[in-house]
């Protein structure tokens, strides 16, 4: 009798285990708010999804991602953020200081994983990089003297450079410090700087059209700036038309027809952002997750553009290049 009872109990336990094993895993909901278009940020979204996969998350099985795109209309950000709040997502992934701040203001008690912000402490997004102390954590592109390095590399590639056009939006968070960094680097190299304010896509053509003579003139753009990133095809095309050597912060500009780029590997930052989401979903609080600074930098060059501009890239730069477009 005892033996039959034990066998029945074991069988019942096996049935319970079988039922549990067939039950679907909990479905987590992640919000992703991009201040750009789906087409312009497809590689970044793909990198984030790759990172989720590395942590065992599969869309539709144990995670759902609610995507929101502003399509380069900043005024849409508050409503998109509030919409994700209403969707009751478990965490929101987003980028740039201004957008992170807007999300903070229009959501309540939802952890935020930031990517590619310029000055999270100075912008008031976190109290400290080591101890964020709130609902925000993630990755910043904050790196000392990176603006100076971009100017120096462009001057090294183009020794005849005598003037530099800087496209920027002074209204963006962190813009003033980035401007000062570029201005100081230009002054040290004896180059004249022309700052052109571009708040809308329409301003880009106006900025290029205001140049009476582009000889000896190079181009550099503000980073990060979602609108300029989205308009990279237009920017690089206008620079080529004016025979202007250009320096950017991301390889995607070079792939679009720019001359050079130097900066953090942003897709890799989005891939790494998935580790923050994983930690939050497992119960960690953003307040205790240190903000990470860039660990991987890339120098890219488009040799086809260099040839079209009549430039002979020095060996000192060729030896340092990470990515080349022929």
pLDDT of residue 3: 47
What average pLDDT does this structure show over 152-160? 96
First-to-last alpha carbon distance for the chain, in angstroms, is 81
Domain 146-264+298-325 in the same topology as domain 28-142+266-295: yes
C-alpha atoms less than 13 angstroms from C-alpha of 271 in its C-beta half-sphere: 15
Let me know the angle formed at the C-alpha of 254 by 175 and 224, rounded to the nearest 5 degrees: 15
Q: Please state the φ and ψ torsions of residue 285, each to the nearest 5 degrees.
A: -100, 140
Q: Which CATH architecture has domain 146-264+298-325?
A: 3-Layer(aba) Sandwich (3.40)
Domain ranges of the chain: 28-142+266-295, 146-264+298-325
pLDDT of residue 115: 96
Model confidence at 10: pLDDT above 70: no
Nearest to 89 by CA among 105, 116, 123, 113: 113
Give the three-state DSSP class for 113.
strand
- Chain center to CA of 284: 23
Nearest to 227 by CA among 41, 52, 93, 47: 41
β-pair type (297-302, 260-264): antiparallel
Residue 32: its H or E element: strand 28-34
**pLDDT for 52-106, tens place per residue?**
999 999 999 999 999 999 998 989 999 999 999 999 999 999 999 989 999 999 9
pLDDT of residue 19: 40
Cross-strand partners of 32: 67, 93
Q: How many helices (H) and strands (E) does the chain have?
A: 13, 12
**pLDDT for 235-247, tens place per residue?**
999 999 999 999 9
For the chain, what percent of residues have pLDDT higher than 70? Answer: 92
Q: What is the DSSP string of 258-303?
A: -SEEEEE-HHHHHHHHHHHHHHHHTT--GGGSPPBPP--EEEEEEH
Nearest to 116 by CA among 94, 92, 101, 136: 94
Fold annotation for 28-142+266-295: Rossmann fold (3.40.50)
Burial 161-197 (b: 16+ CB within 10 A, else e): bebbbbbbbeebbbbeebbebbbebbeebebebeebe
Give the three-state DSSP class for 184.
helix
């Amino acid at each position: 009798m005892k033996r039959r009872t034990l066998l029945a109990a074991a069988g019942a336990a096996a049935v319970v285990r079988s039922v549990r094993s067939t039950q679907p895993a909990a479905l987590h909901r992640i919000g992703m708010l991009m201040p750009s278009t789906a087409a312009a940020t497809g590689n970044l979204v793909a990198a984030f999804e790759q990172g989720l996969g590395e942590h065992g998350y599969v869309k539709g099985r144990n995670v759902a991602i609610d995507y929101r795109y502003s399509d380069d209309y900043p005024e849409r950000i508050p409503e998109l953020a509030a919409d994700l709040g209403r969707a009751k997502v478990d965490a929101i992934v987003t980028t740039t200081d201004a957008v992170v701040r807007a999300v903070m203001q229009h959501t309540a008690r939802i952890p935020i994983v930031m990517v590619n912000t310029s000055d999270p402490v100075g912008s008031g997004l976190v109290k400290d990089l080591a101890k964020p102390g709130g609902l925000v954590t993630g990755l910043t592109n904050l790196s000392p003297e990176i603006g100076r390095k971009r100017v120096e590399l462009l001057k090294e590639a183009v020794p005849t450079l005598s003037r530099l056009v800087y496209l920027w939006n002074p209204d963006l968070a962190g813009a003033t410090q980035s401007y000062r960094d570029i201005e100081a680097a230009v002054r040290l190299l004896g180059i004249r700087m022309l700052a052109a304010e571009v708040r809308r896509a329409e301003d880009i053509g106006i900025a290029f059209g205001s140049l009476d003579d582009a000889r000896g003139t190079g181009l550099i753009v503000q980073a990060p700036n979602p609108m300029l990133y989205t308009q990279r095809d237009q920017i690089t095309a206008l620079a080529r038309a004016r025979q202007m050597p250009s320096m950017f912060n991301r390889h995607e500009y070079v792939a679009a027809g720019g001359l050079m780029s130097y900066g953090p590997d942003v897709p890799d930052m989005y891939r790494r952002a998935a580790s923050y989401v994983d930690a939050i979903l497992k119960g960690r609080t953003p307040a205790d997750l240190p903000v990470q600074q860039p660990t991987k930098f890339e120098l890219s060059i488009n040799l086809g553009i260099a040839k079209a501009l009549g430039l002979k890239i020095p060996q000192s730069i060729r030896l340092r290049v990470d990515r080349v477009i022929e």
